[in-house]
Amino acid sequence: MIKFSDKQLKIPQLMRPVYLVTVGMSKFDRAFPETRTEELCIDALTAASDFVGMTPAELKKYIHTCYYGHFADHFGDQLLGEAVIHDRLGLDPLGTIGVKTGGATGGSTIWEAMKAVASGYSDCALAMGWERMDEVPTDEGNHLISCAADKDWETPLGHIYTGYYAVMAQRYWKIFGKEEESFRRTMAEIAVKNRGYARMNPHAHGPMDITVDDVINSTVIAYPLRALDCCLMSVGAACGIVCDEKTAYEITDHPLRIYIGAGSHTLRVADRRDMKIPLLPNEKPNQYNDLGKKFPGGDRYPGFSSFLAARVAAYYAYNMCGVVDPCEDLDVVELHDAFTISDIQTYEDIGIRPYGEGRTYIESGDAYVINPLTKKPGKLPSNPSGGLIGCMHAVGATGLMQIAEIGYHIWNRWDEIHEPEEKWKAFGREKPKDWTSLQVKGAKRGLAISHAGVGSHVTCTILMDPNKLIKED
């Protein structure tokens, strides 16, 4: 599809307000040789019940429908893995369904739960996601991930998804990054920032205290991407529970409003056709007329340098809740930093920066909790969790982890989740002596992007303090 009809561009409407009441997540790690997936999911649901001062049994009494997300049955070697988890969580005989949208699975899972509540079908729905990526050797894991590409046209070519993805990075690097050393360093800054933030997160699988030079000198995976530019391959679980207003206030005094938009684009990058750039509320007609002049080769949209699905998801979500300019209207974001360069592409797709100017979000210091240039709070901190690069990418859980993290900021309870010495000890991790709170002070609205592969599926979730809505219902 290269032209949208008005009906396709209709702004999604929820039939009644939906609230996020609680979230929870397990420890994330590369492998859990002595832990079953259900144990990780129970950890996540127990954390969610603890968060609202209930026992799991008390919280479960509210749940009416269950959505479960895990990307690959192959990884867990268990078809209908959702049914196993559902049973082990003791949620039979409730209606349940599995959701699979690659890297966007976590976001898509709660998108479905939101719609169940918005429609009135359920007053309370569970979204639980996980991934089991440690039960095959890494090269077989790479093969399984490559099966999410087109099995006839792509998978036989190396059985390595990075190859199908990195061609987009190359194009962005050459056209918009102009192969500049300064752009290369900006990419590296993202890795340094996110791995550094992960040091403050006991759940995180990949914390590192590194420098830009460490990133630039790390092993080349697919030039210009190096090992430290790339996300983790993790195991773990995360969940969120959404409710209608009445139920939400029975569970907690502080539920958050939730809005989710979703978009899609071709599974094969090869199939992308030219189209006009769909505009977000903070962009003007003709704004991009000279894009090809400023960045020769950059006039093909979405080409290989943009993610149409992210743009469409943001278009729906922003218009649902009244966001005009994400930098002005939001306080914190968790983005899908699968690779440093795709993180930059996403800044543009969701309107944090105009197309071609993504790098300035990092270079200005706006993306930091504390702006390194001004030493004052950053304008729109990105990925204080550590993101996929520093915290985890347990595919089906990732989008839910991001939403949980945004929630903790708005609830002003980020420290409670990340600081306690006993949690660090329970996870077998050493709390850094320089542990610092990354709580975004005064956060009232935030966003999480959940993104699949080369951009086949993307969800854009926005959470708001109900007293700080932009648009009246």
Partner 1 sequence: MPKTNEEKGFVDVINGRYKPKGTFHIVEKNQPIFNKDTGKLAGVTNPRDMTYIHSYGGEAIFFESLGKGKLMATRCDNDRCEAKGSIFEPFRIYCPDCLRKATVVDITEKAQKKAKIHSFIITYRSGAFNTLPLPIKFINVEFDEEVVTILMSVLVVGDPEIGKRVVPIFRTKDPTYTIMDLMFVVEGTPESDLPEFYTY
- Quote the CA–CA distance of 400 and 48 in Å, as a whole number: 12
Q: Which residues pair with 124 in a beta bridge?
A: 243
Do the beta carbons of residue 345 and residue 359 sit within 8 Å? no
By C-beta, is 265 or 336 nearer to partner 1? 265
Residue 335 has a CB neighbour count (10 Å cut-off) of: 27
Q: Is 268 one of the binding residues for partner 1 (CB under 8 A)? A: yes
Q: Is 90 one of the binding residues for partner 1 (CB under 8 A)? A: no
Using CB under 8 A, which of 272, 311, 353, 451 touches partner 1? 272
3-state secondary structure of 41: helix
Counting residues that bind partner 1 (by CB under 8 A) gives 49
By C-beta, is 257 or 457 nearer to partner 1? 457
Residue 464 has a CB neighbour count (10 Å cut-off) of: 25
Phi and psi for 301 in degrees, rounded to 5? -120, 140
By C-beta, is 32 or 411 nearer to partner 1? 32
- Minimum CB–partner distance for residue 232 and partner 1 (Å): 15
Q: Is 296 one of the binding residues for partner 1 (CB under 8 A)? A: no
Which helix (H) or strand (E) covers residue 250, if one does?
A: helix 245-251
State which amino acid sits at residue 453.
Answer: G
Q: Is 338 one of the binding residues for partner 1 (CB under 8 A)? A: no
- Minimum CB–partner distance for residue 300 and partner 1 (Å): 9
Q: Is 140 one of the binding residues for partner 1 (CB under 8 A)? A: yes
Using CB under 8 A, which of 53, 120, 156, 372 touches partner 1? 156
Using CB under 8 A, which of 213, 274, 416, 421 touches partner 1? 274
Q: Is 423 one of the binding residues for partner 1 (CB under 8 A)? A: no
Q: Which two tokens stand for residue 454?
A: 């080369």
Using CB under 8 A, which of 43, 154, 244, 348 touches partner 1? 154
**362: burial class by Cβ within 10 Å (0-12, 13-18, 19+)?**
buried
Do the beta carbons of residue 349 and residue 314 sit within 8 Å? yes
Q: Is 220 one of the binding residues for partner 1 (CB under 8 A)? A: yes
Using CB under 8 A, which of 18, 45, 145, 341 touches partner 1? 145
Q: Which two tokens stand for residue 419?
A: 């600081």
Q: Is 226 one of the binding residues for partner 1 (CB under 8 A)? A: no
| Sheet bearing 95-99, strands edge to edge | 95-99, 65-69, 124-131, 236-243, 19-25, 256-264, 457-464, 445-451, 332-334
Q: Is 4 one of the binding residues for partner 1 (CB under 8 A)? A: no
- Minimum CB–partner distance for residue 156 and partner 1 (Å): 5
Cα–Cα distances (Å) from 285 to 9, 278, 288, in that order, read 16, 9, 8
Using CB under 8 A, which of 85, 113, 148, 168 touches partner 1? 168
Q: Is 152 one of the binding residues for partner 1 (CB under 8 A)? A: yes
By C-beta, is 49 or 170 nearer to partner 1? 170
Q: Is 121 one of the binding residues for partner 1 (CB under 8 A)? A: no
- Minimum CB–partner distance for residue 31 and partner 1 (Å): 11
Phi and psi for 84 in degrees, rounded to 5? -65, -50
Do the beta carbons of residue 267 and residue 65 sit within 8 Å? no
By C-beta, is 269 or 458 nearer to partner 1? 269
- Quote the CA–CA distance of 120 and 196 in Å, as a whole number: 42
Using CB under 8 A, which of 30, 64, 88, 159 touches partner 1? 159
Identify which range of 120-128, 181-189, 257-265, 272-280 contacts partner 1 by CB under 8 A: 272-280
By C-beta, is 155 or 252 nearer to partner 1? 155
Strands 95-99 and 65-69: parallel
Phi and psi for 219 in degrees, rounded to 5? -55, 135
3-state secondary structure of 127: strand
Q: Is 153 one of the binding residues for partner 1 (CB under 8 A)? A: yes
18-47: contacts with partner 1 (CB under 8 A): 33-34
Cα–Cα distances (Å) from 364 to 171, 323, 412, 449, 471, in that order, read 24, 22, 26, 21, 29
Q: Is 273 one of the binding residues for partner 1 (CB under 8 A)? A: yes
Binding site for partner 1 (CB under 8 A): 1-3, 33-34, 77, 137, 139-146, 150-154, 156-164, 166-171, 174, 220-223, 268-274, 297, 304
